[in-house]
Structure 1
Amino acid sequence: MNELHTRGLALLRAGREREAATCLREAVSHAPEDARAHYHLAIAHRLLGELEEARVSLRASLEFAPTLVPACAQLGGLALVAGGVEEAITWLTRALTLEPGHRISRYQMGIALRFAGHRSEAIRFLQASLEPGPGALRPLLAHRVRGQLADALRDAAAGPRPLAQCAAPLVTELLDEVAPEPEGASSAEFERELATRRVTPHEAARLLAGARSILALTGSGLSVGSGLATRKELWQRWDRDAAVSVFRFREAPGVLWEVIADFLGEGPHPPAAAHLALAACPNLMGIATQNVDGLHQEAHLAVQGAQVPMPPVIELHGTLLETRCHDCDDRPGRTAASYVGAGQPRPPRCERCGGALRPDVVLFGERVASARMHQALELVRRCDALLVVGTAMDVAPASELPRLARANGVPVIELKRTASRLSRSLDTLLLPGEADVVLPELIKALRR
């Protein structure tokens, strides 16, 4: 493995996907016959949502190493994301022919067979992926497999139901290798170390007292108090790959509108205590949010009024407050909520070309707009404190932002009931609790 390849792989493990992709592109340009470099470049592309580029790199890896089982497995996984169940089964069959004990291929074959309606075979493959022996799955992935298996067993007993477990891959799953434990080795040791990083609202306020440019990074946990489902809750009812991928939308656009109706539920959804507290935060320079509900803007109007300029809100994943035609990009000037009432067609149609309308959000398989990401990165470079509220920080490319902040020496404080995966790779501080409780306490202490 050449130096560029080694560095690219290290960046992947650290969650720095964009840097990893740049490094791995250089690696394959210097060593075009390095099949593993092509494979790892494909993983970087997939984590960035660049699925077609990922396919190209995976096929290139197989040109130089036709028996590279992980590449076959991931081509099967990409086919699943795109709704190509038969193609997925073909690739996964090839992987398991080459290596019958390959656990991730068994796991993905189980998912593919569930999609195809072959429940008993799906159960057999899912159970096989959990068998004891060498190469056992990492605990988090094994937990997801058991979730798929439990659902498949319920399918067999009660008939078909929507796939409830998200089939989106984990980094360790994509790399197809055992990732190292966090520094400090055992979970018990990590928990003891994490305990030293827990802070109270008053301690966090003291840390932020000298900050002149506070940036907030927010996620769905912030909007729980507004009556909106978290991402985790939504994916317990809907399979993300099947329901909200751009591939699925092209085939059955009405499904996405069913998900939106489920997400919105019975409105209205006013800003919660956490939104209002953040709107009153002194020295707030901006908000980068993964949310699509527009509640930060409502909170600012409620707290500050229309006369006070609002700090920039970077909606990384778009907004439900706007809709557009998927085909011609015409914008009717209506919110997604205005299309989900009783008697409304699903999907609504474009008056200009007849194409399917969609909310102006980033679907799985699409990229975050480069302009939005650039704005968020610029805010991170200028901030001197970062608050991470209501998000697990496990979705690229937003997951790059806290890493960049720490690289710049900026303190990162997580407001979350329990520490996210972010805390295992960054020395973040944890302010534990519900956002609607601890964020108002923090802002109150900060304003004294």
Structure 2
Amino acid sequence: MTSSTPSPVTVPDEVLDLARGRQRVVLFTGAGMSKESGIPVYRNDSTGLWENVNPEEMSSIAGWAKDPEPMWAFSLWRARVSLNAAPNAGHTAIARWNAIDGTDVSVITQNIDNLHERGGMEHPVHLHGSLFTFRCTICSKPARQPEIPHQPVERLTPPKCSLCGNYVRPGVVWFGEPLPHKEWEQAERLLTEADLVVIVGTSGVVQPACSLPLIAKDLGTVLVEITPAPTAYDTVVDYSWRATAATGLPALVDALGG
């Protein structure tokens, strides 16, 4: 799949004034960022074999303990959907922003795909884990990436851990699990050090991740939101720009000289 070239948009003067000259920038991204690459928003993903299944039933630690095979198949198919998608102009714009002299751009994402990496950002902080990391369910030993199927199937048996023999699981955060401690601390540090936070493609309602930008807000850091529709952040940010990731971010980075 290839991403289309977005129509040019005009950056509001207020956004340019807030963004110009900022040296430590953090992008806080959510599902709307990947949607423009053709990846369905998680809670509305009702395609293929799982069109009559609640995705949340495929993403809970209790469900895995009960029957891991459908969840393993579901996770690997989501990985294939991610691999079939292309980073959109918003993803590549972030990497261009990071390449501007004197600017250090970091990404904190709620997304579990690898589009930020493929768009040019080497080490995004994945708050909810990644479809492309794997570990033992019990001892947490890292495991190699298995073969990603090219077609969806209803059930697949997970591989066994080479250390303890228990099932290998996807390295994503399921319902009933806490967010990863290391990534949470990285996110807190980045937000504490930022002089600009740009919130893109997230509604601001998924806890506890949605509370993270408030760390920067409490420190007086400038917050800008890029979103096509109202969100829970509208009353918190310094400016809420009605644009999408794939149109707004490229226009902003172009205007900043990236």
TM bin (shorter chain):
0.7 to 0.9
Contact 1:202–1:445 (8 Å) recurs in 2: no
Give the superposition deviation at 1:379: 0.6
Give the distance between the partners of 1:329 and 1:442, measured in 2 at CA. 41
Q: In structure 2, which of residues 14, 17, 29 is the aligned counterpart of residue 206 of structure 1?
A: 17
Give the distance between the partners of 1:331 and 1:371, measured in 2 at CA. 15
1:234 maps to 2:50: no
Query: What residue number does 2:242 align with?
Result: 432
- Secondary structure at 2:45 match in 1: helix
Contact 2:89–2:250 (8 Å) recurs in 1: yes
Higher share of residues assigned helix? 1
Give the superposition deviation at 1:351: 5.0
Give the distance between the partners of 1:226 and 1:367, measured in 2 at CA. 28
1:254 maps to 2:63: no
1:276 maps to 2:109: no
Mapping of 1:34-49 within 5 angstroms? Answer: none
Mapping of 1:112-127 within 5 angstroms? Answer: none
Give the distance between the partners of 1:428 and 1:392, measured in 2 at CA. 16
Contact 2:131–2:171 (8 Å) recurs in 1: yes
1:340 maps to 2:149: yes
Count of residue pairs brought into register by the alignment = 238
Query: What residue number does 1:364 align with?
Result: 175
Query: What residue number does 1:297 align with?
Result: 117
Contact 2:77–2:149 (8 Å) recurs in 1: no
Q: In structure 2, which of residues 4, 19, 29 is the aligned counterpart of residue 218 of structure 1?
A: 29
Give the distance between the partners of 2:56 and 2:33, measured in 1 at CA. 24
Give the distance between the partners of 1:409 and 1:348, measured in 2 at CA. 47
Which one-letter code corresponds to 1:278 in the other structure?
I
Counterparts in 2 of 1:434 and 1:268: CA distance versus 1, 3 Å: same
Mapping of 1:40-439 within 5 angstroms? Answer: 201-203=11-13, 204-234=15-45, 237=51, 238-264=53-79, 267-281=83-97, 282=100, 283-300=103-120, 310=122, 312-334=123-145, 338-341=147-150, 346-350=156-160, 352=162, 353-424=164-235, 426-439=236-249
Give the distance between the partners of 2:212 and 2:140, measured in 1 at CA. 29
Give the distance between the partners of 1:218 and 1:328, measured in 2 at CA. 31
TM-score, with structure 1 as normaliser: 0.49
Give the superposition deviation at 1:241: 3.9
- Secondary structure at 2:209 match in 1: coil
- Secondary structure at 1:226 match in 2: coil
Which one-letter code corresponds to 1:205 in the other structure?
L
The unaligned stretches of length 5 or more in structure 1 are 1-198, 302-309
Which one-letter code corresponds to 2:246 in the other structure?
D
- Secondary structure at 1:214 match in 2: strand
Higher share of residues assigned strand? 2
Give the superposition deviation at 1:331: 2.6
Give the distance between the partners of 1:342 and 1:391, measured in 2 at CA. 29
TM-score, with structure 2 as normaliser: 0.82
Give the superposition deviation at 1:258: 3.9
- Secondary structure at 1:346 match in 2: coil
Larger Rg over CA atoms: 1
- Secondary structure at 2:241 match in 1: strand
The unaligned stretches of length 5 or more in structure 2 are 1-8
Contact 2:134–2:168 (8 Å) recurs in 1: yes
Contact 1:242–1:248 (8 Å) recurs in 2: yes
Give the superposition deviation at 1:253: 1.1
Which one-letter code corresponds to 1:300 in the other structure?
G
- Work out the percentage of aligned pairs sharing the same amino acid: 26
- Secondary structure at 1:215 match in 2: strand
Query: What residue number does 1:446 align with?
Result: 256
Which one-letter code corresponds to 2:31 in the other structure?
S
Counterparts in 2 of 1:377 and 1:351: CA distance versus 1, 3 Å: closer
